[in-house]
Amino acid sequence: MPPTLLFRTAVGVIALHVADDNFIHPEPGTSLGQHLVSGLVPLALLALAAWAYPRLRGGLQGGLALALGVLGIVGGVEALHYMGTDDDLTGYLSVPAGLLLIGLGATTLWRTRRVEGNLAWRYSRRALVTFGAFVGFSVVMLPLGVAYITTHAGRSFVPANQLGAAYEDVSFKTGDGLTLRGWYVPSRNGAAVISFPGRKGPQKPARMLARHGYGVLVFDRRGEGRSEGKSNSWGWRGTKDIEAAIRFLERRPDVEPGRIGGIGLSVGGEMMLEEAARNPKLAAVVSEGAGARTFSEDMHEEGARGVDKALGVIVSAVKTVSIAVFSNQSPPANLETLTPKIAPRPLLLIAAPNSGHGEELNRRYARAAGSNATLWEIPESGHVGGIDKRPQEYERRVVGFFDRALGR
Q: Is the domain of 108 the same as that of 173?
A: no
Chosen domain end from 66, 83, 113: 113
Please give the residue that has the higher pLDDT: either 390 or 300.
Answer: 390
Claim to verify: residue 224 and residue 341 sit in the same structural domain? yes
pLDDT at 115: 59
- Mark whether 96 and 176 lie in a shared domain: no
DSSP single-letter state for residue 253: T
Q: Does 120 score more than 70 pLDDT?
A: no
Do residue 190 and residue 98 come from a single domain? Answer: no
Calpha distance 33→23 (Å, rounded): 9
Residues 183 and 275 in one domain: yes
pLDDT in tens, 327-350: 999 999 999 999 999 999 999 999
Are 388 and 293 within 8 A, CB to CB? Answer: no
309 inside domain: no
Task: Count the domains in the chain.
Answer: 2
Do 192 and 104 lie in a common domain?
no
Q: What is the mean pLDDT of residues 42-51?
A: 97
Q: Do 362 and 349 touch, CB atoms closer than 8 A?
A: yes
Residue 246 and residue 344 share a domain: yes
Q: What is the mean pLDDT of residues 86-113?
A: 89
Whether residue 283 lies inside any domain: the answer is yes
304 in any annotated domain: no
- Percentages helix, strand, coil for the chain (3-state, rounded to 5) are 55, 10, 35
Band of residue 114 on the pLDDT scale cut at 50, 70, 90: low
Q: Is residue 301 part of a domain?
A: no
Which one, of 103, 151, 79, 138, lies nearest residue 310 by Cα?
A: 138
**Is 248 in the same domain as 355?**
yes
* Cα–Cα distances in angstroms (integers) from residue 295 to residues 231, 298, 307, 314, in the given order: 20, 5, 17, 10
Is the C-alpha dihedral spanning 235, 241, 243, 245 positive or negative?
negative
List helix spans (H) across 82-173: 89-111, 119-136, 142-150
DSSP state of 198: B
Q: Of the candidates 46, 78, 113, which is a domain's last residue?
A: 113
Q: Is pLDDT at 84 greater than 70 in this prediction?
A: no
Average pLDDT estimate for 391-395: 98
Cβ contact 259:408 at 8 Å: yes
Residue type at position 13? V
Range among 114-118, 353-357, 393-397 with highest mean pLDDT value: 393-397
Q: Are residues 91 and 212 in the same domain?
A: no
CATH classification of the domain holding 351: 3.40.50.1820
Task: Decide if 260 contacts 282 (C-beta within 8 A).
Answer: yes
Q: Are strands 215-219 and 179-185 parallel, antiparallel or unpaired?
A: antiparallel
Handedness of CA 27, 30, 35, 38 (dihedral sign): negative
Whether residue 181 sits in one domain with residue 54: no
Are residue 276 and residue 174 in the same domain, yes or no? yes
Mean pLDDT of the chain: 92
186 and 282 together in one domain: yes
Alpha-helical (H) ranges within 20-57 are: 36-52
Asked which of 81-90, 226-235, 331-340 is least confident by mean pLDDT, the reply is: 81-90
Show the domain range for 100.
Answer: 3-113
213-to-185, 198, 363 alpha-carbon distances in Å: 9, 21, 32
Q: How far is CA 8 from the centre of its chain?
A: 32
Q: For residue 336, give the nearest of 387, 297, 285 by alpha carbon.
A: 297
Q: What is the pLDDT of residues 122-150, one digit of tens each?
A: 667 667 767 777 877 888 999 999 999 99
Predicted pLDDT of residue 109: 86
**Amino acid making up residue 127:** A
Name the β-bridge partners of 262.
194, 285
Asked which of 90, 113, 136 is the last residue of a domain, the reply is 113
Q: Is residue 361 part of a domain?
A: yes
Q: What are the phi and psi torsion angles at 215 (to 5°)?
A: -70, 140
pLDDT classification of 111: cutoffs 50, 70, 90? confident
- Contact predicate 165/188, CB 8 Å: no
Helices and strands, counts by H and E, the chain: 15, 8
Longest dimension (CA), the chain: 84
pLDDT at 132: 74
Do 221 and 227 touch, CB atoms closer than 8 A?
yes
Residue 277 has pLDDT above 90, yes or no: yes
Average pLDDT for residues 197-223, to the nearest whole number?
97
**Residue 139 lies inside a defined structural domain of this protein:** no
Strand partners, 376: 350
- Is 307 among the domain residues? no
Contacts of 337 (CB under 8 A, 6+ apart): 368
Q: Is residue 138 part of a domain?
A: no
Give the number of C-alpha atoms closer than 13 A to the C-alpha of residue 277, restricted to the C-beta side. 21
Handedness of CA 395, 396, 401, 404 (dihedral sign): positive
pLDDT of 241-251, one tens digit each?
A: 999 999 999 99
